[in-house]
Every structure is written in C-alpha cells, then in structure tokens.
Amino acid sequence: MAVDYVVVGSGINGLTCAALLARRGKRVLVLERESVAGGCMRTAEITAPGYLHDVMATTFVLFITSPAFAELGAELTAHGLEFAPTSHPTAVLMPDGRNLVLTTDRQANVARFEALSPGDGAAHAREVGTVERDAELVFGLLGGSLWSRPTAQLLMREAWRRRPRALAARLGEAMRSGRTWLETSYQSELTRALFAPWVLHAGLGPESAFSGEMARVIAFALEAAGAPIVKGGAANAVKAFESLIKAHGGEIRTACDVAEVLVEGGRATGVRLADGTRIEAGEGVVCSVTPTQLYERLVPASNIDAATRSRTAAYRYGKGNMQMHYALKHPPRWKAGGLDKVALIHLTPGLDGVSKAVNECERGMLPETPTICVGQPHALDPSRCPEGAGILWLQLPETPRILKGDAADTIETPADGRWTEPLREAYADRVEAILSNHIDGFAESIVARTSYSPADLEAMNMNLVGGDPYGGSAALDQFFIWRPFATSRNHTTAIRGLYQIGASTHPGPGLGGGSGFALAKALR
C-alpha cells in the first residue's frame, strides 16, 4: 500500500496534521497502536453504566482558541463536534472553606478581586490586559514555528515598534516564576491560590522559570473562553476528526502497532507494522511520539548518529499524573456555596501548598496534601451521567513517576519505586478524605470510583512516559527552540521526510493541536 503521508499516532496533533493534509488533497493514513483512536482523548464507562468519563484529557480551551480550530472548526462542527461552554471556568477551594471563582466576566472578576484586597482588581485588569495587548507576540511565540521567516518578521516588527531594549525587557519579564508573578501582582492569598495551581497544567511548578507568564496566559484564556468540554465526551472530538479525514479521502486505522520507520538513502520512505505489513509514504512520515519512542524504538539504530542517541538518553520527563473518576448518586453538595457550576475546582492550601506538593513530588515522595483538580462534567454536560446524578473528574498533577516514599509517612512504598494497585488505592483514599472534608455526605453519594496511577496511564498511552502527560519536562531549557533538543529545528529531523510532532515538540503539551498545525502548514 502507498500513501502520501503516514501519521503515527492519533492524538490531537496527529489528527490536526492529518486533517489539514487531507483537506489539501494528500493521501493520508493515520496509524494508532491502541484499539481506539484519540491518544489522551478517550471517553468510556469506566465506573458504572450510564456514566461517561473522559479518562484523561477533558478541557478544550486551548483548542477552541487555537489557529487549528480557527481553520478546522466550521468543518469539525459540520462533522458533529459540539462544545459545552461554561461561564464559570475555575475556582479554588482552601482547607478552611474559603473559595474564589473566576468567571468569563472580566469586570465581575475585577470587582471580586478588589473586594478581597484593594488594588488586586486593578492588578488583574492590568495583567490579563497585558496578555491581550501583547497577543500577537505572546501567541506568535507560544504557537508559531520558531525557526521560520514569520517568527523572525514578528520579532523584527516588535523590536521596531517597542525598540530592541524594551522588547528584551518584555521577554525577560516573561521568564518570571509563578511565585514571583503572583506575589508581585496580587496581595490576596486567595487570589494567588486561584492561579497558582494552573502552572501545574503547563508541566511546571510555581518556582519554575516562565511559569509566571504561563499562569498569566492561562488566566487570560480562561477568562476569555472558559473551560469547555465536548458534548458527549472527548471521544466525540475524535469522531469528528475521523469523519472529516475520511471525507477528504484519508483513513485512520487502530490496533496498528508501527514497529519501524523505513529509511532508504537517508530518507523516510514508509513504515513497517509489527505484523510485518509495509506501508509506503511517498512524501513523508509524521510521528506524534516522544524522542524515546522515535529514536529508541522506531528509527533503525543504523540511521541515528551518536549525538542524537546521547540527546535522547538525556531527555528528561516531568512529574507523573494520576486520574480519579467518581460516579455519584447526585451532584456533589459542596459545603462552600457557589461552586456547583464551576468546571474545574482546585483544592489546595494555596501558593505555598502547591510549592510544597511539587517539591515533594519531584523528590519522589507522595505529597502529604496534593493539589486536587476536580472537574464537574455534569455541570456543563448533563448527558454525561443519568438524570439527577453527578460525575467527577480528578487530576493529581503532582504524582511521582518513581516512588521514594510518602511525605505523610503513612503509606508504605515499595523498594523498587513502582506503582502497585494497593498503593494507588491507598493514595486515592487520601484524596477522597480531602474531598469528604468539603462535600456533605460524599461517601454515601459514591456509586463507584476508578483510579489510574502513573503506571496505568503509561500502559494506556506509551507516550505518557512514567505517567507524564506533558511529553517531557517543560523546563525552560527543554522548551521553545530547545524542544525536544537544543539542536531541534521546528518539526524536522536529521532524516529527510521524517517529522516529529506532539507534546515533546514545540509548542509543547495541551489540547491545542499546535505542532500538528505548524507542520501541516510547513509541508508543501
């Protein structure tokens, strides 16, 4: 069989790239190792009948604000994609019950922050206003192909408009940590706590360089676009992509394990499946995988130089992740008012609490008080569960990939550092106890609970190495033009016709489709 492009992997980037290429008349074949397409976009009844859970990724704010959606949105909608929006995207809930909700109404947010601490409202208007004013620069660098003429022209325009020293100052400002940004912008502990956990969703911590800018950008995006989910589940986004790709002559095949990228004369010519099937690709092979998968599994060793092998071995993965899902008899009865309609609630002691949990996680310890991200899909999309019932989606972004101990010293961890089912459930019990402090009658409302450790997540998606959902550490030295390697140039590789996309490449993790979009636009 021969096609123009083979795309390995059917996550958001692979699907975006395939859709754009197919629309241009290219013969595209997407190959997915798992039995279902979608990568981290998976929906299933994993707790009880009638309860539809997004097993991993759930929030599509990055996608609906992306250039990929700007180009594909109308057609995806025609193929069945529908979002469930919210005007209450996020909130924070402190151990003592204090809470703060962010809405999509900037003036209301400003008034609320100002009431908490005089000056904080004006600070918020200034901070999100800065992102809005600098949108061309910020989103051009966060989402564009960095080694490109358009990016060079963007920087030249900005240098001319601002003057070079002022542009350098703005870029330097973007290097601030989340803690620095929060402590210099807001006086209220509660307002700082509202935004602090969001750096975790960028694969960073409050002390990480650049995490302040990411928190500010996320605050802007949530306020501008909310935190929408897909009606009926994230899998419906995959179905819409598949329908679009098929309508343009492309194809998606599942349960197709690519064993090797075929290379002849220094050029990628196709792939070989684990069952021996060979598929020729006349124009290129696009791999939405980690560097580990690409250079230690797919590309023959004879085609990899020593420098690439060394860089691959040195590539760092970040914190692990854990997912928990609850089927409830009824929506949670929060002791604190005003949380029923919120899409994503972070339970945390605040900025210092996030820092403490990140530090414990990075040292291989189970956090004593983890940051708990609680999604309420039923509040946006009642079709996710039986009428009158409730459903919770939990993410624990400070979970060690390899365990060295328990910060609370109450859970025994194995000497080999590996996750086990009893360990996973013991840690889930810790999380459930925290939830029970905030929800009346929580234990009695539970129909079923299903949890996934970092090891479980990697078993479902081999790109989640050690349960890292961000494709590798997003520390500054492994981001932007240095992602995945310091020698990387956009999404090309040293092998002609072989391209790498996905969370391990710029613009990094998240449901934005950015790398797939950028590569499809670059291919001619």
- Residue-wise pLDDT for 90-110, tens only, equals 999 999 999 999 999 999 999
Confidence of residue 1 (pLDDT cuts 50, 70, 90): confident
The angle formed by the CA atoms of residues 487, 488 and 494, to the nearest 5 degrees, is: 95
Mean pLDDT confidence for 386-399: 98
The angle formed by the CA atoms of residues 412, 414 and 416, to the nearest 5 degrees, is: 160
Could you read off the pLDDT of 137-159 as tens digits, one per residue?
Answer: 999 999 989 999 999 999 999 99
Distances in Å between the alpha carbon of 462 and those of 38, 287, 293, 324, 499? 13, 13, 8, 19, 19
Provide the 3-class DSSP secondary structure of residue 398: strand
From its phi and psi, is residue 268 left (phi > 0), alpha (psi between -120 and 50) or beta? beta
Confidence of residue 258 (pLDDT cuts 50, 70, 90): very high
The answer to whether residues 15 and 30 touch, using CB atoms and an 8 Å cutoff, is: yes
Where are any strands of DSSP class E within 250-389?
251-253, 258-264, 267-273, 278-288, 320-328, 333-334, 344-347, 365-366, 372-375
Distances in Å between the alpha carbon of 353 and those of 76, 214, 235, 245, 377? 41, 19, 34, 45, 26
Q: How many CA atoms lie within 13 A of 236 on its CB side?
A: 19
C-alpha–C-alpha distance, residues 221 and 158, integer Å: 22
Provide the 3-class DSSP secondary structure of residue 265: coil
Mean pLDDT confidence for 462-487: 96
Q: How many CA atoms lie within 13 A of 336 on its CB side?
A: 21
Beta bridge partners of 129: none
Residue 217 pLDDT > 90: yes
Beta bridge partners of 252: 30
pLDDT score recorded for residue 524: 79
pLDDT score recorded for residue 514: 96
Of the chain, the percentage scoring pLDDT greater than 70 comes to 100
C-alpha–C-alpha distance, residues 138 and 146, integer Å: 12
- Whether the pTM exceeds 0.75: the reply is yes
Question: How does the average pLDDT of the chain come out, rounded?
Answer: 97
Mean pLDDT confidence for 263-279: 97
Q: How many CB atoms lie within 10 A of CB 191?
A: 25
Minimal CA–CA distance to 266: which of 488, 498, 500, 491? 498
Tell me which amino acid residue 347 is. Answer: L
C-alpha–C-alpha distance, residues 377 and 358, integer Å: 26
Could you read off the pLDDT of 288-339 as tens digits, one per residue?
Answer: 999 999 999 999 999 999 999 999 999 999 999 999 999 999 999 999 999 9
Distances in Å between the alpha carbon of 296 and those of 313, 468, 469? 9, 18, 19
Sheet holding 390-399, edge to edge: 99-102, 90-93, 344-347, 372-375, 390-399, 320-328, 446-452
Confidence of residue 472 (pLDDT cuts 50, 70, 90): very high
